Amino acid sequence: MLHELHITNFSIIDDATVEFGKGFNVITGETGAGKSIIINALSLSLGERAASEHVRSGEKEARIESYFEINTKKMSTHVRDAIRDAGVTIDDGLIFKRVILSQGKNRAYINSSMANVQTLSDISRNIIDIHGQYEHQSLLSNDNQLDLLDMFSGLIKDRDEVGRLYESLSSLKSRVRSIEEKDRERVQRMDILKHQINEIESAGLRQDEEEELMEEEKVLGSAGHLAELANQSHELLYASDNATLPSISTIIEHLRKISEIDSRAKDALKSAADALPLLEETSYFLRDYKDSIDFNPDRLEQVQQRLELIKALKRKYGSSIREILDYRDTSLIELEELKHSEEILDSLKSELDDVRKTFTDKARTLSRKRNAAAKKVESAVVNQLAELSMPDTQFSILLTQQSGNDTLDGWEANQTGIDNIEFLISPNVGEDLKPMAKIVSGGELSRIMLALKGIMAKGDNIPVLVFDEIDAGIGGKTAETVGKKLKALSKNHQVICITHLPQIASYADRHMKIEKEVTNKRTVVSIKQLERNDRTAEIARMLSGEISDLSLSHAKELLKRAAH
């Protein structure tokens, strides 16, 4: 749910915090007090277009933050994926933040991480709907309209099955198309593959061969220098007149005699005695090493040629021997496919025909169920709108198909089946049905949304609903009906409503009042949560424009009736 909205230096608001609660929240106040500014600010925090004019006069920037408590278990998979792709971590909730600079630039954040405005919009549209004069309305999206119809009609399992069949259909079509395209160049491709495979296999590559050859090349190329160093070291250690080993033997003998007299020399004697066999081993190594050095230019040439061969293969087939061998293995599989492409193609086509037939049957059935459910929804919406003072409204759910070759009966398809959807509406007598997205009146659109949301509440998984201007052009009994419907809707959603009507406000679980006053020659907007007597007084003001004994009595009666 939307827990808190914090606004700083936005329009005529210098600093205000609005705390929302569960259930039905209403915001009231005098005309021009700034009620719609609250919704405007909320919309901007969720990704609506911003302008420098939104910044309060004399200030450098405006800041808007909206904090949502999120139940991740109830969050849809694609919303979690969108949040994850944005690099956002959900702990206890989501904070959407917008900073608007007076120079015209603006920044967006999600949980303190920088984000672009589109990401804000993509994520927030799945957790909040704002209905009224603003654009943040998920029900205007054809995809969401189809989702709602399917969820309302209990068709999600059917649609998931159709989606899985569509994925199989698409995969098989892609494989058939690939083989058919390859078949046109099959012989040429087979010759190329055979040459490449033969070139790699004839090289007889080993996994670690390149590293071993590079080490051998380094040794062969420095053979003379290595032999000279080894010989000189052996001479110094063992073979020369002043060799080290004989001298150390003499030193050990001297230390032994010293230690027989002075025990302090015993440690030095032990160190020298321990070093002697190690130096002797070194002498043996140097002797054998200098004799083993191979002055073999032919072998060096062979190694260098082998390295050049590997280098040439790497240029063609991969950056390492492992990649070259992987390329060979992949080519062997492709060559085998090409050799048996006709058999494979016939088998795939047969499988494709079976899947297309099953998909066609399931998609047709799903479409029939949708059409049946659409009729029920149409009738229910018309009845609901009549109760909401739109008695002459026509509403229709248009399901259409587009020609294609995905099904046996010639329709284009996708993961949701073969249907395209459009909610059509005509709020006035004599007007043609038009797409709901083209409805201009904010009040009409809000009431249409309220009717749809009330009917489809169980199928709608968007937790927060905001209604602005829903009371435009209504009053009396209709206003009370709207209040009841909003209250009923708040059992499954958090509902936030800006209203001028006391009948609607009387049903709220949480009532907030916007007030505007001038302090130190500046307009200041304040937001107050109303309890008991304050709430009764506000309802009385909304009833008659002033607070009197009579209006207070009527307000108490209205609140009492709403409570029951």
* Domain boundaries of the chain, sorted by first residue: 1-127+462-530
Q: Token pair of 516, please?
A: 């505007």
- So what's the pLDDT on residue 63? 94
Q: What is the pLDDT of residues 272-330, one digit of tens each?
A: 888 888 888 888 887 877 777 777 777 778 878 888 888 889 899 988 899 999 999 99
List the one residue out of 7, 60, 59 whose CA is nearest residue 35: 7
Q: Which residues pair with 13 in a beta bridge?
A: 10
Q: Which helix (H) or strand (E) segment is 399 a member of?
A: strand 394-400
Distance CA 265, CA 242 (A): 25
Higher model confidence: residue 99 or residue 223?
Answer: 99
Q: Helix and strand tally (H, E) in the chain? A: 18, 15
Residue 136 pLDDT > 60 = no
Which residues are CB-contacts of 535 (< 8 A; sequence separation ≥ 6)? 511, 559
Q: Band the pLDDT of 331: cuts 50, 70, 90.
A: very high
Q: Band the pLDDT of 132: cuts 50, 70, 90.
A: low
Judge if pTM exceeds 0.85. Answer: no
Q: What secondary structure letter does DSSP report for 431?
A: P
Q: What secondary structure letter does DSSP report for 74?
A: G
- DSSP per residue over 10-38, as a string? ETTEEEEEEE--SSEEEEEESTTSSHHHH
Q: Where are the alpha helices (DSSP H) in 295-441?
A: 297-317, 321-339, 341-387
Which residues are CB-contacts of 167 (< 8 A; sequence separation ≥ 6)? 415
Letter for the amino acid at 392?
D
Higher model confidence: residue 419 or residue 469?
Answer: 419
Which residue matches tokens 């009917």?
455
Residue 238 pLDDT > 80 = no
Q: Band the pLDDT of 172: cuts 50, 70, 90.
A: very high
Residue 460 pLDDT > 70 = no
Q: What are the contacts of 189-198 at 24+ separation with CB within 8 A?
A: 189/334, 189/338, 190/335, 190/338, 190/339, 193/331, 193/334, 193/335, 193/338, 194/335, 196/316, 196/317, 196/327, 196/328, 196/331, 197/328, 197/331, 197/332, 197/335
Distance CA 291, CA 473 (A): 108
Q: Could you give phi then psi for residue 133, rounded to 5 degrees?
A: -90, 5
CA R_g for the chain: 41
List the one residue out of 267, 241, 265 whose CA is nearest residue 254: 265
For the chain, what percent of residues have pLDDT higher than 70?
95
* Class of residue 248 by CB neighbours under 10 A (exposed 0-12, middle 13-18, buried 19+): middle
Query: Rounded to whole angstroms, what are the CA distances from 338 to 186, 198, 287, 334, 343?
Result: 6, 17, 61, 6, 10
Q: Could you give phi then psi for residue 16, rounded to 5 degrees?
A: -145, 145
Measure CA 150 to chain center.
23
Q: What is the pLDDT of residues 65-88, one digit of tens each?
A: 999 988 776 666 666 776 777 777
User: Longest C-alpha distance within the chain, in Å?
Assistant: 129
- DSSP per residue over 237-295, as a string? IIISTT-HHHHHHHHHHHHHHHHHH-GGGHHHHHHHHHHHHHHHHHHHHHHHHHHH---
Contact present, 55 and 103 (Cβ < 8 Å): no
Distance CA 307, CA 365 (A): 65
Instruction: Note the CATH number of domain 1-127+462-530.
Output: 3.40.50.300
- So what's the pLDDT on residue 442? 64
Distance CA 395, CA 375 (A): 10
Letter for the amino acid at 554?
H
